[in-house]
Amino acid sequence: MSKSHKDFLSVLDFSKEEVSVLFKEAARLKKEGKQGGAGSLAGRTLALIMQKPSTRTTVSFAAGMAQLGGTPLILNSQELQLKRGESLSDTARTLSQYVDGIMIRANKQDEIEELARFASIPVINGLSDKEHPCQILSDIFTLWEARAGGKIEGLKGMKIAYLGDGNNVAHSLILAASLLGMEISVASPKGYEPEKEFVQKGKVTVLADPLKAAAGADVLYTDVWASMGKDEEREKRKEIFMPYQVNAALLAAASKDARVMHCLPAHRGEEITEEVMEGRQSIIFEQAGNRLHVQKAILLYLLKDL
């Protein structure tokens, strides 16, 4: 099926040049505040399909769409016939006649790809089991602002150490680092490493030793040890992952002015200590705030000229 529009299903759906354009647009929108881009998407509607709950993804996309003059429709499983077995292909073909774009937080990447295959409008991956591209684009934008002088080439060679579960966040981070010339090390317990598919796509060093990964790093990044859908493993994982906690000792192994990142929500005292999360090197809440501006830039890029 030929397409006259662009989807954002994976970090690699954008080129380095497109990422640079998005970051500059996000910076402009951020500078202009809530009025940034006002009216740009007037008359446009975005469907937000929420198979999984969220704070930052839902609110940043909904608020961003509203600030751009469009209308967000937040749809959970109870409000769609997906709950009763309607196929994603039928849902895509129907919604394409009602709205101008779809953002979906899905259980599986395959579901997002099926939706996009049958939709005649842009589809955005708000999270899947494989990737979390909107999150990571916002995270890298935060580093672009804080450490790269607002230049895409300023990211080259920056060293990221990701510590913990080799999950969807780790996967998208690996792809983004490879795309933008950053260095990345992932330290995970045996059996919890990133999937080979993503290790092979990116340029990443996978380690078992968190101190080796953190050594000299410019950024320490972590996430919850038990992602959504794995809550029953939380107690088991606490013991396995405790050596990977981002704490003062691990931060001391990084570069002197290293930044600390977390995609949130955080379990303080587990994957990250209160001291580090609230410390002067933390840019965690800058990350969270930037979700709004980058989401708005993505929406404009995908929807404005349809």
Report how far residue 206's alpha carbon sits from residue 59's, in angstroms, rounded to the nearest whole number. Answer: 34
Q: Which of 51, 109, 135, 245 is catalytic?
A: 135
223 as an active site residue: the answer is yes
- Point out the catalytic residue in the list 259, 262, 291, 293: 291
134 is catalytic: no
What was the pLDDT predicted at 246?
98
Let me know if 84 is a catalytic residue: no
Selected catalytic residue, list 223, 245, 287, 293: 223
Handedness of CA 79, 83, 86, 92 (dihedral sign): positive
pLDDT at 83: 67
Tens-digit pLDDT profile for the chain (306 aa)?
456 799 999 999 999 999 999 999 999 999 999 999 999 999 999 999 999 999 999 999 999 999 999 999 999 877 788 767 788 999 999 999 999 999 999 999 999 999 999 999 999 999 999 999 999 999 999 999 999 999 999 999 999 999 999 999 999 999 999 999 999 999 999 999 999 999 999 999 999 999 999 999 999 999 999 887 677 888 999 999 999 999 999 999 999 999 999 999 999 999 999 999 999 999 999 999 999 999 999 999 999 987
- How many Å apart are CA 68 and CA 62, to the nearest integer? 10
User: What is the value of pTM for the model shown?
Assistant: 0.96
Strand partners, 243: none
Closest CA to 55 of 284, 305, 287, 265: 265
Which domains, ranges and CATH numbers included, belong to the chain?
Answer: 11-132+291-303 (3.40.50.1370), 135-288 (3.40.50.1370)
Question: Which entry of 44, 132, 262, 293 is annotated as an active-site residue?
Answer: 132
Active site residue 291: yes
- Choosing from 105, 237, 259, 262, which is the catalytic residue? 105
Active site residue 135: yes
